[in-house]
Structure 1
Amino acid sequence: MGCRKHDEESGSCVCDAVTAIKKAQDEVDNNGRGDCRNNCFNSLLSPNGNNNGLDTVPFILQTKKGEYFYSVGAIGRNDCFQTIFFRVESVDEDNCCATLSMLRPDSDLDFDKCCVDPTSICDVDELERTRYCIEVDLDCFCTIQCLDPDLVGDIDHHCK
């Protein structure tokens, strides 16, 4: 269960937001335009239907304790990285679980033991898509912050 108590009718705000992000990304993938009005997605789709190649709404999640959620990609490789930036790949709306791909930041994030230093986030100028994915229970998060889709570059082609 998320931060607030909810029932099946009221849903989870983070789950609902991630589901809406996925639908916006799918709309761009399907026909390059959509009918999104939420400020989380409005810069992904331009008014004239041209998405300028943008197909990702990057976002950050925070835990119930207010800590940034992070994951590690490319474990066991020399290009291992830590990230707090994600792209939704799929959502199971019934269970509020999602597959997220990790977005690699162009600068290293500073971690103090378990937590990212928020000031290091400001040094990130670009995010690179990767093929490294994780499965998450969206009910475990209290906050989602959407970021500018212009931050995301092409997919990292050296990842397998």
Structure 2
Amino acid sequence: MGCGRIEDITDVRRTGRCVCDVVRAIKDIQDQATSDCPPCPTNCFLEPLGGLVSPSRNQADTRVFMLLTEDGTPFKAFYRDRDRCDNDCFSVFFRVEDIFDSCCATLRVLEPLDAQRKEVDLLNADGTKIDLRQICKVRNFALTGSCITVDLNCFCAIECIADVFLDVCD
């Protein structure tokens, strides 16, 4: 159960249904007005891997994504920092490593890097919350040795960010 949903669909208190119905209706209306439009460039269902960057890129081995909590904030996780000299040790970017049981997943935490491949500290000045402006500075990612196991039912949204080559099998 996630986002306040009640799993029993016969329960009239189930929330979120009208939003789904409205969005479905809007999609139908839009489909009647448009044809042959290109898909959203960050749609998580785009294939093949590399499609978020450009369809011709075929060396990508990771689809980077963020998970959003019920209140719309990015889910963050701790990772062991490579240089261990600072506090840039939280990230909102992940790579899926495994999915098991109904909807559990092992996610690898990805280190956020800027265009010059320097760490981006995503925390605010107090070090207590994610500074959303800092997320905009992220252009690259690096693998970390930190993995977490999550219940995917606890999240309300997923946003795919990029397809990248992280040399996972190295």
When the two chains are superposed, the root-mean-square deviation of aligned CA atoms in Å is 3.1
Letter of the 1:6 partner, please give it.
E
User: How far apart in 2 are the matches of 1:71 and 1:147?
Assistant: 17
Deviations 1:43-89 (A, max 9, x none): 6256xx97522111111111112221101111797166210000111
The number of residue pairs the alignment matches comes to 124
Residue 124 (structure 1) aligned with residue 138 (structure 2): yes
The Cα shift of 1:120 comes to: 0.8
Q: 1:65 to 1:114 in 2, by over 3 A?
A: farther
Taking structure 1 as the reference length, the TM-score comes to 0.64
1:144 aligns with 2:145: no
Q: Which runs of 5+ in 1 are unaligned?
A: 9-37
Question: Match for 2:43 among 31, 39, 43?
Answer: 39
Corresponding residue of 1:100? 107
The answer to whether the Cα contact below 8 Å between 1:126 and 1:153 also exists between their aligned partners in 2 is no
Q: Which residue of 2 aligns with 1:81?
A: 89
1:109 and 2:122 aligned: yes
Q: Deviations over 1:91-148 (max 9, x none)?
A: 1142x11100011011221335542111110000101122310011111111110111
Q: Check 1:130–1:41 CA distance in 2 against 1; reply closer, same or farther (3 A cut).
A: farther
- Structure 1 distance, partners of 2:137, 2:121, is 9
Q: Which amino acid aligns with 1:42?
A: L
Q: Distance in 1 between matches of 2:133 and 2:148?
A: 25
Distance 1:81 1:117 in 2: 14
Q: TM-score, normalised by structure 2?
A: 0.61
Higher helix share: 1
Amino acid at match of 1:103: L
Which amino acid is the alignment partner of residue 109 of structure 2? M
Which protein is bigger by CA-based radius of gyration?
2
Classify 1:124/1:54 alpha carbon distance in 2 versus 1 (closer, same or farther; 3 Å): same
- Cα distance in structure 2, aligned partners of 1:147 and 1:54: 13
In 2, Cα distance between equivalents of 1:120 and 1:82: 12
Q: Secondary structure at the match of 2:72?
A: coil
Residues 110 and 116 of structure 1 are in contact (CA less than 8 Å); yes or no, is this contact kept in structure 2? Answer: yes
Query: Is the Cα contact below 8 Å between 1:62 and 1:143 reproduced in 2?
Result: yes
Distance in structure 2 (CA, Å) of the matches to 1:118 and 1:66: 12
Q: What CA distance in whole angstroms lies between the structure 2 residues aligned with 1:109 and 1:63?
A: 17
Structure-1 separation of matches of 2:50 and 2:82: 37
